[in-house]
Structure 1
C-alpha cells in the first residue's frame, strides 16, 4: 500500500479493491480535559508511519436503537465514543497527482449524534466508479460542540460553535493535504443530509469557511434556515446547569465533570443543541429571507425524498392506518396551529392527493413542512446569487411491504453506492444498482463541474423562482416544475418549521 506524506506525518492505509482507503486520520487534538468547549487544536506531527486502517472514535453521544437496527444502522452505526474524536477518512482511486474533485461528506443525526464512519458512508465505490476523492469526518456534537458559555474567559469565547470550527479545521486539513491523496484542494464540494445538510447551510454563512469549499449539495435540511439565537443558546446552557444541579454553567466546573455525566444530564432536556449566533463564527442566520453573502457565486444542489416523514413513524404499525380526525389532531400539534387551520390543510392535501390514505396525507404534509419548504427555499434564495439545482427523490423502497416509501435518508446509499450495506433498508431488486450508478454519476458531475447534468439524465435546467425546475430522481427521471406545490401552498398558513417544533407529534397518539 502506498504511504502518503501529510503535514502531520506519514500515513499508510489499505487497498480496498483498487481504492486506497485511509481511516482514522487525526485532524485535531483530543477535545477532552482543558480542550473541552474550546476551538480545535492542531495535533502534533507523528514520527514514522502511522497505520490509518481503523475508524477513529465517534463524538460523545448516548447509544440509541437506531445504532443497531439493520433498517437504520447503515446510516447510524457508531464507533466507541470519546472526546478524542477529531478524525476523518479518505477514499481515493490513487494517491497521485491527478487533482480529482473532492466530495466532503458531513453526516446527519441532527447536531447531536452519529458519525462519519457508518457503513453507508464508505466512499470506496463512489471514488472508484466516478474518479473522485471522498472525505468523511467526525466532529463534536450536542453540548460538547454547541454550548454557549457566558464568561469573560477568552478561552471559551467560541464554545457555542466549536463543532462548526471542527469542520472548518477538517476543511483546512483537506486544503493542506488532499493533493497528496490525488484530490484537488481547489475543487471541494460539501455534501450532507439532514443535520449534515443544515451544517452545510451554516458553513455557507461563516467567513471561517470561505474559500475552503467551492460547491454544496444540501439533502433534506430541516432546520437549516436559521441558527439558535444567542438568547436561546444561553437558555439551553442554563437548562444544562439545572439538570446537573449547579447554579450556572461555569466552564472550569464543566470541564472537570466526566463525559458520561454531561451526556446523562442532556437526555431529559429534549433540547436541540446546535450552532448559534455568537457574533464571532456567526453574525447572521444562513437563510433568513436572503442567501448568505459569504456564499455569493457558490453553486448549490438541493433536494428531498418524497415521504421523508415516514422515518419517524416506523416503530408503530398503527401510524400507517390512521383515521382522519387523528391525522388532523397530529397535524395540529406538529404545525402548532388551531383545529380549523389543521383541517383546512388536510382538506387541501386531500384535494391534491384524492387516492391517498389519511396517514399518507399526513406523511406528505409533514415532509413538506419539515424538509421541503426549507430545502427548496434555500435553492430559491441561493439562485439569486449563484447557479442552483433542485431534485426530488421519488424511488420507494419495497422493504416492509413498501410502507416506508421514499423515506428520509433513502437517497444516501445510492449516492455512495453502499447498496449492499443498506440492503435491509432498500432491498436488492433489479432497479437498485442502475439507480445507484445514476445517482453517483449525478453527484460526481456536480462536484466536477458545478452542474449535475450527465448522460444518465434528461436535460436538467437550473432552479429559479420563476419556474422551479426540479429533477425527479427515480428509475425513470423527468423534470417537473415545483412538484407538490399545489398542496404545499397550504402550509403558508402556519409559521415555518424550526427546531422548536415537536417531531414526535406526528408519531405518537
Structure 2
C-alpha cells in the first residue's frame, strides 16, 4: 500500500480539528460532581474534563510465571488511584509490589458507540525501572485535546520480567520475555474491553519513550502481538537486537551470586524476599563489565523467534504504520552538563571521555578529529554531546527506519526534536523532552518544555501528529508545519520539530555516515 502524501493543508486541518474536537454525545460528570462514572464494575472519576479509571487490574502472575488475565466480571472496584509499580532500584517514593499488572485509562466519554482511536503508552526505563505514574505521562490532556482514549500500562521489569531461567527447566520457558508477555496481555485486555470505555479496538496505537519504544520494537517481532495494535510510535527507543540466551544466562548467574544463592538454586531465587532480589540488581553486569545488571528481552526462539530489526525488519511489522523519533542531544539528559563527567572537559581528555559513553567500537581520537575537521567552530562540549548522542542510541533508530524503508514499509515517518529547553539553557533538546509535547503536560513536574506560546504551539503540532496516526494510520500535524513526507532511503526525509517545524532530508547525515563506519552494538545485548 502506498502511504498517502500529507500536505500542508491536511496538516493544518488536522490541528484545527484537534483544537475544535466535538463535544461528547453523553454527559460527563464535572470535577467535584457527586456522580462518579461507572463502567462495568469499575468506578472512576472526573479529571481535567475527561473520565479517568486508574489502577485497573489486567492480570495476575506468580513470580517467574506467565500472567493470566483478570476476568471482567467480579466485585466492584474503585478505580480512582494508581496501583503499585514493579519493584525496582529507585522511585522509592512510589508504592512497589510484585503484584503490579495494572493499567490506567482516560476517555472523553464512556460511550460504546463513540469508537474513538486508542493510544496505549508503555513507559521507559530500559526494561529495568520506570512507571506510568510519572505526571509527564498522565493522559487526561491527550485524551481531551486529542479526542482519543489513552491507556498506560505497568508491567514486570528487570529480573522479575526478563531473567532467563529456561536452563532450569520447561517450567521457566517463558521467563526471559515475561515483561513483554505482560504487555501483550494488556493489549488483549484493550482488545476485549476498550469499547466499553468509548474506544475502538480496531484502531489501537502503541507508543512509548526510550525503553517503552524498545518494548514496542520487540513486540513487532513477537507472533503473539500480531494484530493487537494497528500503528506505533517510538520516541528515542529502539531494539535492533534482543539479548542472546547465553548472555542472558550469564546475567541470571551473576544475580544469583550477588544474592548468595547456589548456581542451581532456582527455588531459592523464586522465594527470595523481594528486597534482596532488588538489591542484587546492583551487581556488575558480566557482559558490559559495569553495573547494574541488564535484563531485557531474550531471543528464546518461541515468544521471540527472531531479532526485531536484524538482519532486517521483522516481516509482521512492515505493514504497521510507524513514527520513529529522537531528540537532537539525547545524552544531555543523563550526562549532566553540570556533573562530574563534564567537569574539566577539554581537548586533552575529550576522546577518552567520549569513548566511555559510545556503543560503537571506533578509535575515539579519530572520531574527534573528524568532528573537528567538519565543525571547527564547535567547542569540546558541543562535540562531546553530538558524539555521545550519535554514537550511542541514535544509530539504532536509523537502522530501524532504514530497515523498514528497505522492506517496503511506506507508512514510515521519522522526526527529530530540535527545540531547546527554555527552562534549562544547558539542556538543549534532550532525552525525554518530547514527552510533554505529545501528552500536553507542559507544566507537569519534570517537564523542561516551558509553557510559553511556542511550547504550546509545538505541543499542539506533535499531539496532532500522534493522534492522527492513531486515528487514520498517518500523522497529522499543526501550525507552521511543512509536508511530512514518508521516510525512504536514500533521502531519509525527517520532520524537525523546533522553534519552527520543517522537513529536512537526512539531518546530521554526515554524523550518521561517520558512525556507520563500524557495526552498531545494541546496549545490553
Identify unmatched segments of 5+ residues in structure 1.
Answer: 68-77, 502-509
Distance 2:463 2:250 in 1: 42
**1:293-345 CA distance string (max 9 Å, x none):** 12131111101000001112225177177211211112233347788x32221
Distance 1:88 1:138 in 2: 6
Distance 2:126 2:56 in 1: 24
Corresponding position of 1:419:
442
**Is structure 2 residue 235 aligned with structure 1 residue 226?**
no
Distance 1:351 1:498 in 2: 28
Distance 1:406 1:160 in 2: 34
Distance 2:81 2:471 in 1: 29
Distance 1:429 1:379 in 2: 32
- Count of residue correspondences: 478
Corresponding position of 2:153:
137
Identify which range, 423-432 or 128-137, moves more after superposition: 423-432
**1:380-424 CA distance string (max 9 Å, x none):** 211223210000100100223x11100100000110001111465
Q: 1:232 to 1:317 in 2, by over 3 A?
A: closer
Q: 1:379 to 1:294 in 2, by over 3 A?
A: same
Distance 2:375 2:459 in 1: 29
**Is structure 2 residue 496 aligned with structure 1 residue 472?**
yes
**Alpha carbons 2:357, 2:392 under 8 Å: kept:** no
Identify which range, 329-338 or 116-125, moves more after superposition: 329-338
Distance 1:486 1:336 in 2: 18
Q: 1:305 to 1:152 in 2, by over 3 A?
A: closer
Distance 1:132 1:321 in 2: 49
Corresponding position of 1:155:
171
Matches within 5 A, 1:35-434: 35-44=62-71, 47-63=74-90, 79-96=94-111, 97-151=113-167, 153-222=169-238, 224-269=239-284, 270=291, 271-314=293-336, 316=339, 319=342, 322-335=345-358, 341-383=363-405, 384-386=407-409, 387-400=411-424, 402-422=425-445, 425-434=448-457
SS of corresponding position for 2:54: strand
Distance 1:128 1:44 in 2: 29
**Is structure 2 residue 51 aligned with structure 1 residue 20?**
yes
Corresponding position of 2:26:
none
**1:93-147 CA distance string (max 9 Å, x none):** 1111211111110000111001112111111001101111111000000000001
Deviation, structure 1 residue 372? 1.9
Q: 1:210 to 1:160 in 2, by over 3 A?
A: same
Distance 1:338 1:154 in 2: 37
Displacement over 6 Å in runs of 4+? 336-339
Deviation, structure 1 residue 442? 1.0
Matches within 5 A, 1:433-472: 433-456=456-479, 457-472=481-496
Identify which range, 240-249 or 156-165, moves more after superposition: 240-249
**1:435-454 CA distance string (max 9 Å, x none):** 11111111111111111133
Deviation, structure 1 residue 207? 0.3
Distance 1:189 1:318 in 2: 38
Identify unmatched segments of 5+ residues in structure 2.
Answer: 1-35, 285-290
Distance 1:213 1:126 in 2: 19
Distance 2:466 2:344 in 1: 36
SS of corresponding position for 1:267: coil
Q: 1:290 to 1:241 in 2, by over 3 A?
A: same
Distance 1:302 1:443 in 2: 11
**Alpha carbons 1:352, 1:487 under 8 Å: kept:** no
SS of corresponding position for 2:177: helix
Distance 2:158 2:168 in 1: 23
Corresponding position of 1:71:
none
Q: 1:95 to 1:352 in 2, by over 3 A?
A: farther
**Is structure 2 residue 39 aligned with structure 1 residue 4?**
yes
Q: 1:148 to 1:435 in 2, by over 3 A?
A: same
RMSD (Å), alpha carbons: 1.9
Distance 1:367 1:157 in 2: 36
